[in-house]
């Protein structure tokens, strides 16, 4: 029998890695993710997890060690956040390009300066084009479920790509919620053994990471792009099987009271849980609004977006990171770009807020919807609209 | 999946390079001609050379070869002409000569 236990988000991530029976963890501590790797260090030290735990001297080394371990055929896990995430940036591209299914949790945190430790999605967005599968969790159960399911589809021979599960720093990483933990036997049924077709083997030497000229680089990049796009079908299939075994079904874009709604708010991560209460209040007052929570950020779920917007007339996208000097937040600009191709009729507003842990209250989410509707109706003289910022 | 070792290595379609960064053989860099990057080539003066092997040790491309008689000569298929061998030689037995001069 599965059991329902109180777990903070960090421990939910660690439990998923433990139950996935990871072989190697290479990590460096940084707030607000440290609880994840500290809990895993406990598991290894206590004999609850048979894994090699590599304490490295930096995040660049952490991801480099993960690269080597995954290439050698080990199921590999790590976690990071913010500045530490930036320090591993170079290696992120290599792990994806080398087709290695490393799974990483990122406890999302704002980026300095100003020096900070609180949550937003600025760190996540820096990795947009690294070639990793990227998923945002909205609660602690999703952290557990997404980490577990990542191992499944990342290690699928049709995918063999790394994935990061984003969880909001503090709002999820340090908050205790009830989480349903499955039986180990159920996990084993869901998760076959990891086997890479070109595993590092001194008896069968190959060349990895070879130099490529202008004549070949672009073909390799296109192949990588197609592989990442095609991974969506495998992700959907894995989530379907996950649901059949564990009873919880996931989709790239989750709707909440969104069916047939004329106005939709799109949010990402833990703040969607607050937004749901705002939607409830507005529904109680007879307003025709619903919520879309974007779970799958890469590969971007174009088809699911168009389906979710089938009956919508107005879309308001709320973004937790700012693209300085650009067209809004990254999610705002990508959704807007997708609409330009297929749904130019939709009235659109993008709002940036909730930076560095300034999480909106339910009332403020109601304001976000009201202000968004106003911008969508009347337009705005600002290229980038912010909300909740003084002055 | 992995690049096939054939003509298609040079101009593959994207479908052929799904694992493009992996090549199913080891040591393939030896087949890559880097000698044509060179603008100067090392010339070894056997009168001065004492066969110490510093040039062989310091060559970053492993392009200094030990001959049967114990002297050293550059492998011009790979030598990029960086001049480290000439610089490190304690006996000043190696000079760099401009190509085509």
Per residue of chain A (391 residues), give pLDDT as tens.
Answer: 799 999 999 999 999 999 999 999 999 999 999 999 999 999 999 999 999 999 999 999 999 999 999 999 999 999 999 999 999 999 999 999 999 999 999 999 999 999 999 999 999 999 999 999 999 999 999 999 999 999 999 999 999 999 999 999 999 999 999 999 999 999 999 999 999 999 999 999 999 988 888 888 999 999 999 999 999 999 999 999 999 999 999 999 999 999 999 999 999 999 999 999 999 999 999 999 999 999 999 999 999 999 999 999 999 999 999 999 998 899 999 999 999 989 999 999 999 999 999 999 999 999 999 999 999 999 998 889 999 999 8
Please report, for chain A, the start and end positions of each structural domain, with discontinuous segments joined by +.
Answer: 3-246, 254-386
- B14 CB within 8 Å of a chain A CB: yes
What is A92-155 written as a DSSP string? HHHHHHTT---EEEEEE---SSSP-----SHHHHTTTTSS-EEEE-SSHHHHHHHHHHHHHHHS
Task: Decide if A386 contacts A321 (C-beta within 8 A).
Answer: no
Residue whose C-alpha is closest to residue A328's, from A266, A270, A377: A266
What lies within 8 Å, CB to CB, of A275 at 6+ separation is: A265, A267, A291, A318, A365
Inspect the interface and report whether the beta carbons of B25 and A205 lie closer than 8 Å: yes
pLDDT single digits (tens) B71-91:
999 999 999 999 999 999 999
Whole-number pLDDT of residue B9: 59
Distance from CA of B47 to the nearest CA of A (A): 40
Under CATH, what is the fold of the domain A3-246? Rossmann fold (3.40.50)
Phi and psi dihedrals of B69, rounded to 5? -85, 5
Q: Does B61 touch chain A (CB under 8 A)?
A: no
Distance from the A298 Cα atom to the nearest Cα atom in chain B, whole angstroms? 18
Q: Which pLDDT tens digit goes with each residue over B5-55?
A: 545 556 889 998 888 788 888 888 788 899 999 999 999 999 999 999 999
Question: What are the structural domain ranges in chain B?
Answer: 1-31, 33-98
Backbone φ/ψ region at A270: left (φ over 0), alpha (ψ -120 to 50), beta: alpha
The CATH code that applies to domain B33-98 is 3.30.70.20
- Tens of pLDDT, residue by residue over B60-73, are 999 999 999 999 99
- Which residues of B fall within a CB distance of 8 Å from A205? 25-27
pLDDT of the residue at B1? 42
Tell me the CATH class for A254-386: alpha beta
Nearest to B21 among A197, A205, A220 (CB): A220
Same fold, A3-246 and A254-386: yes
| Residues A13 and A35 sit within 8 Å (Cβ to Cβ) | no
CA of B30: which chain A residue's CA is closest?
A207
């Amino acid at each position: 029998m599965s059991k329902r236990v109180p777990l903070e988000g960090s421990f939910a991530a660690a439990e998923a890695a433990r139950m996935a029976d990871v072989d190697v963890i290479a990590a460096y501590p940084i707030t607000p993710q440290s609880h994840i790797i500290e809990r895993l260090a406990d598991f290894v030290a206590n004999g609850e997890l048979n894994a090699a735990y590599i304490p490295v001297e930096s995040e660049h080394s952490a991801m480099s060690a993960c690269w080597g371990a995954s290439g050698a055929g080990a199921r590999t896990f790590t976690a990071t956040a913010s500045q530490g995430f930036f320090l591993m940036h170079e290696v992120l591209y290599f792990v994806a390009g080398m087709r290695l299914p490393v799974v990483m949790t990122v406890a999302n945190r704002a980026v300095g300066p100003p020096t900070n430790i609180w949550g937003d999605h600025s760190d996540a967005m820096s990795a947009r084009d690294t070639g990793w599968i990227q998923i945002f969790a909205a609660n602690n159960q999703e952290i557990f479920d997404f980490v577990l399911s990542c191992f499944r589809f990342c290690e699928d021979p049709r995918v063999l790509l790394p994935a990061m599960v984003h969880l909001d720093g503090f709002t999820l990483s340090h908050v205790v919620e009830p989480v349903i933990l499955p039986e180990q036997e159920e996990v084993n049924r869901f998760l076959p053994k990891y086997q890479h077709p070109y595993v590092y083997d001194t008896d069968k030497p190959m060349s990895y990471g070879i130099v490529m000229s202008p004549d070949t680089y672009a073909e390799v990049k296109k192949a990588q792009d197609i592989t990442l796009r095609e991974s969506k079908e495998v992700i959907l299939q894995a989530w379907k099987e996950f649901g059949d075994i564990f009873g919880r079904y996931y989709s790239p874009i989750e709707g909440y009271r969104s069916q047939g709604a004329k106005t939709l708010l799109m949010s990402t991560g833990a703040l969607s849980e607050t937004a749901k209460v705002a939607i409830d209040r507005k529904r109680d007052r007879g307003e025709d609004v619903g919520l879309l929570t974007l779970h799958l950020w890469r590969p971007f779920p174009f088809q699911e977006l168009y389906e979710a917007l089938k009956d919508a007339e107005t879309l308001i996208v709320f973004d937790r990171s700012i693209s300085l000097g650009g067209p809004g937040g990254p999610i705002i600009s990508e959704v807007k770009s997708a609409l330009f191709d297929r749904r130019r009729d939709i009235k659109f507003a993008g709002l940036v807020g909730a930076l560095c842990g300034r999480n909106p209250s339910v009332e403020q989410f109601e304001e976000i919807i009201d202000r968004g509707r106003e911008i969508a109706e009347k337009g705005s003289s600002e290229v980038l609209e912010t909300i909740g910022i003084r002055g | 999946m992995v690049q096939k070792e054939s003509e298609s290595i040079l101009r593959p379609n994207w479908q052929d390079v799904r694992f493009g960064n992996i090549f199913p053989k080891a040591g393939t860099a030896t087949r890559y001609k880097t000698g044509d990057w060179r603008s100067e080539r090392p010339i070894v003066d056997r009168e001065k050379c004492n066969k110490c092997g510093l040039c062989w040790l310091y060559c970053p491309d492993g392009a200094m070869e030990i001959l049967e008689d114990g002297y050293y000569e550059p492998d011009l298929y790979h030598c990029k002409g960086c001049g480290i061998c000439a610089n490190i030689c304690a006996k000043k037995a190696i000079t760099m000569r401009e190509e085509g001069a």
